[in-house]
Structure 1
Amino acid sequence: MLEGLRQAAGRDGAAAVRLGDDALAPEELLRAASAVAGGIAGAPAVAVHATPTMDTVIVVVAGLLANVPVVPVPPDAGPMERDHILRDSAPALMLAAKGALEDPGALGVPVVPVDDVAGAETSFPGPEPGSTALVLYTSGTTGRPKGVRISHGAITANLGALAEAWSWTEEDTLVHGLPLFHVHGLILGVLGAFHTGSALVHTGRPSPRAYAAAQGTVYFGVPTVWSRVRDDPESARALRGARLLVSGSAPLRPALFDDVRALTGHALLNRYGMTETLVTLSGRAGEDQTPGWVGTALPGVETRLVAEDGALLPHNGSALGELEVRGPSLFSEYTNAPEATAASMTADGWFRTGDLAIVGPGGAHRIMGRASTDFIKTGGFKVSAAEVEDALLAHPAVREAAVVGAPDDDLGEQIHAYVVADAVAADELVNFVATELSVHKRPRQVNFVPELPKNRLGKVVKGELGRR
């Protein structure tokens, strides 16, 4: 997966890798990472304080070179989350910039400055495809985060498929400001550039002005980023010279899709994936994008829809079932959780995503939400929370919406909506949904809130609704 970076290191005038104010030429980055690799070789795993800095990138590349699994630790993780990650993954040490951690002794793991572990440049044989490259912890929207072990082979296969789907080459300049401890920012947003040999500009924070100033050809963002771009029309119009704008990690609403296209001239390319699967579905560069849909299966990936009784459902654009996937980019296992690993897979090797989906006759997929929180059974009907959320968002006063099922003795579950809105009554929103959709899909209760609880990637944490 570093082949593109190595090739760039051999080219005169190859663009530097930039993170904030720091920049290294490809050969300088490889040299620094090789020295760190010599210092960590043989370790069972190393953690990295995953700030959006060059130090983090050097450590990740060093781990890839030395065939040592790297565990990115979110820099804003609280003590409980950080302790869980470090205990669960058991790294030999944690690498961080000097002075980055106020009380490194409280972590229970030796904390070593990145500069201090570096030694002489060292070369290593290439890793086995099945060996673990990264241990990424899930977003934690449902329970304690799990450590997902991702192999070198899975990452390489996925990046190759994305390069094909997005026509991503060494001629591109990738721009983003996403965190470096999840798939989107780290695997796609850093290793993707190193795989293809494209230039990389990480803006530190994904602000509209920073995106506009970077003058890239490919931009990555979560819907929250694209919402902020939309709200800064001048910066949005500066992206008209780009080739591709990609959205992922959270649902992309049709209204935001339309607004961004009107300002930038680009239809946001949507894609779908999970930590356990990497990216499995995506639109294609140069093809029409349909708001609300996340494209077709990437090369090598298979998908199927399964009903509650285990029956396979047709791909007819209306049948709703749980999405299962298989292919070369699946994770190896959850760390220290063999029962959870086994439960996530079917006997014939398909991963249970836990997401509800519809698949059209041409293979396009629409993700309708999580089976555990977004599939509401009310009065004998099955209702997609995502469909009700889209209807609420179509009202001009509504800025954000989340819908959940609440226990009800009569209906089984009631549809409850949590809404960020301006000067609108609950009854008006209930009647609006009943007009836009079937009457049984209307919310029985509308709760107005100042904001929706979200994780770092902009996904609504529905388990926290009603607690604030």
Structure 2
Amino acid sequence: MPDNYLFSRLTAYAEAHPDKAFAEQPDAPSQSYGTTLRNALRLAAVLTEAGLNPGDRVAVQVDKSLTAIELYLATVAAGGIFLPLNTAYTASELAYFLDDAAPSIVVCDPDRESEITPLANTARLFTLDKSGLGTLTAALTDMIITPVPRSADDLAAILYTSGTTGRSKGAMLSHDNLYSNAAALKDHWRFTENDVLIHALPIFHTHGLFVATNIALISGATLNF
């Protein structure tokens, strides 16, 4: 039986060096790789309890936070497909993405809950703010899950194109697409565990989430958030 291809590779450093700092944030203690991994597995348990099945999509329109990064890892660990959405999308724009992608779980900012609820269709709706608070984290328990087996060719994320010449199209990204890209750039840019990355980009952006974050995870670098 295969392991969870992307999750196991992104978290290998965390398992070997749990006390190393993964993220530094202003006015907050640094957070270790081990804590980040455990938080992701706890969030994965929430998603699974909410009915997420392997191959289901999790649509996320929330402000940048460390918890949002953990939610990305949690989705992959639970066998889901992560769908990040620009925080500037209006309700009418969101309606298209949610209809097209048909997610089983939607996570949004608490301030937009009433606006997005009718757009979520049959999806389970959770909230998450930039401080890491909302119904998603309120549902956390001490339960963690064993990562769901996924292969290199299974989908890990969908990222919609800009749609400059027509409606946006969902680009399907496999586990190996994301891992091999991060691994190649890690080697090319010579990232190591001694590096600190100033994480300036939004995490609905392909570079902010799938490049910067994934490279830090596999190299053991620390994110300055």
**1:95 counterpart = 2:107:** yes
**Hey, which of these two has a bigger chunk of helix by percent?**
2
Alpha carbons 1:50, 1:75 under 8 Å: kept: yes
In 2, Cα distance between equivalents of 1:84 and 1:156: 29
What TM-score do the two structures reach when normalised by structure 2?
A: 0.79
| 1:231 corresponding residue in structure 2 | none
CA gap 1:153/1:21 in 2 versus in 1, 3 angstroms: farther
| 2:207 corresponding residue in structure 1 | 184
**1:111 counterpart = 2:125:** yes
In 2, Cα distance between equivalents of 1:114 and 1:94: 10
Q: Determine what percentage of the aligned residue pairs are the same residue.
A: 26
In 1, Cα distance between equivalents of 2:192 and 2:104: 36
Greater relative contact order structure (CA < 8 Å, 6+ sep) = 2
Instruction: Using the TM superposition, give the Cα deviation of residue 141 of structure 1 relative to its aligned residue in structure 2, in angstroms.
Output: 2.7
CA gap 1:70/1:117 in 2 versus in 1, 3 angstroms: farther
- Aligned ranges 1:171-210 → 2 under 5 Å: 171-202=194-225
| 1:56 corresponding residue in structure 2 | 68
CA gap 1:21/1:9 in 2 versus in 1, 3 angstroms: farther
| 2:38 corresponding residue in structure 1 | 31
In 2, Cα distance between equivalents of 1:92 and 1:158: 27
Which has the greater radius of gyration?
1
- Aligned ranges 1:222-261 → 2 under 5 Å: none
Q: Residues 241-292 of structure 1: CA distance to partner in whole angstroms, max 9, x if unpaired?
A: xxxxxxxxxxxxxxxxxxxxxxxxxxxxxxxxxxxxxxxxxxxxxxxxxxxx
Q: Residues 45-92 of structure 1: CA distance to partner in whole angstroms, max 9, x if unpaired?
A: 111124211231111000111110011121111122211111111111
What TM-score do the two structures reach when normalised by structure 1?
A: 0.40
Which range moved further: 28-37 or 115-124?
A: 115-124
Q: Structure 2 regions of 5+ residues with no counterpart?
A: 1-5, 127-134
Q: Residues 200-231 of structure 1: CA distance to partner in whole angstroms, max 9, x if unpaired?
A: 123xxxxxxxxxxxxxxxxxxxxxxxxxxxxx
| 1:148 corresponding residue in structure 2 | 171
In 2, Cα distance between equivalents of 1:200 and 1:127: 27
Instruction: Using the TM superposition, give the Cα deviation of residue 181 of structure 1 relative to its aligned residue in structure 2, in angstroms.
Output: 1.3
Figure out how many residues of one structure are paired with residues of the other and give that number.
202
| 1:17 corresponding residue in structure 2 | 23
In 2, Cα distance between equivalents of 1:181 and 1:94: 14
Q: Structure 1 regions of 5+ residues with no counterpart?
A: 203-468
Identify which of 71, 76, 84 aligns with 2:96: 84
**1:127 counterpart = 2:150:** yes
In 2, Cα distance between equivalents of 1:137 and 1:167: 29
Equivalent residue of 1:177, what SS? coil
CA gap 1:64/1:14 in 2 versus in 1, 3 angstroms: same
In 2, Cα distance between equivalents of 1:64 and 1:108: 21
Instruction: Using the TM superposition, give the Cα deviation of residue 4 of structure 1 relative to its aligned residue in structure 2, in angstroms.
Output: 5.4
CA gap 1:189/1:100 in 2 versus in 1, 3 angstroms: farther
- The amino acid of 1:95's aligned partner reads V
In 2, Cα distance between equivalents of 1:40 and 1:30: 15
CA gap 1:49/1:12 in 2 versus in 1, 3 angstroms: closer
Equivalent residue of 1:16, what SS? strand
In 1, Cα distance between equivalents of 2:106 and 2:42: 16
| 1:7 corresponding residue in structure 2 | 13
- Aligned ranges 1:291-370 → 2 under 5 Å: none
**Hey, which of these two has a bigger chunk of strand by percent?**
1
- The amino acid of 1:30's aligned partner reads L
Instruction: Using the TM superposition, give the Cα deviation of residue 147 of structure 1 relative to its aligned residue in structure 2, in angstroms.
Output: 0.8
CA gap 1:21/1:131 in 2 versus in 1, 3 angstroms: farther
In 2, Cα distance between equivalents of 1:170 and 1:100: 38
- The amino acid of 2:158's aligned partner reads V
- The amino acid of 2:210's aligned partner reads I
Instruction: Using the TM superposition, give the Cα deviation of residue 117 of structure 1 relative to its aligned residue in structure 2, in angstroms.
Output: 4.2
In 2, Cα distance between equivalents of 1:99 and 1:15: 31
- Aligned ranges 1:36-51 → 2 under 5 Å: 36-41=43-48, 42-43=52-53, 44-51=56-63
In 2, Cα distance between equivalents of 1:116 and 1:147: 31
In 1, Cα distance between equivalents of 2:26 and 2:207: 18
Instruction: Using the TM superposition, give the Cα deviation of residue 150 of structure 1 relative to its aligned residue in structure 2, in angstroms.
Output: 0.3
Q: Residues 326-380 of structure 1: CA distance to partner in whole angstroms, max 9, x if unpaired?
A: xxxxxxxxxxxxxxxxxxxxxxxxxxxxxxxxxxxxxxxxxxxxxxxxxxxxxxx
Alpha carbons 2:61, 2:107 under 8 Å: kept: yes
Alpha carbons 2:43, 2:74 under 8 Å: kept: yes
- Aligned ranges 1:389-404 → 2 under 5 Å: none
CA gap 1:8/1:179 in 2 versus in 1, 3 angstroms: same
- The amino acid of 1:114's aligned partner reads L
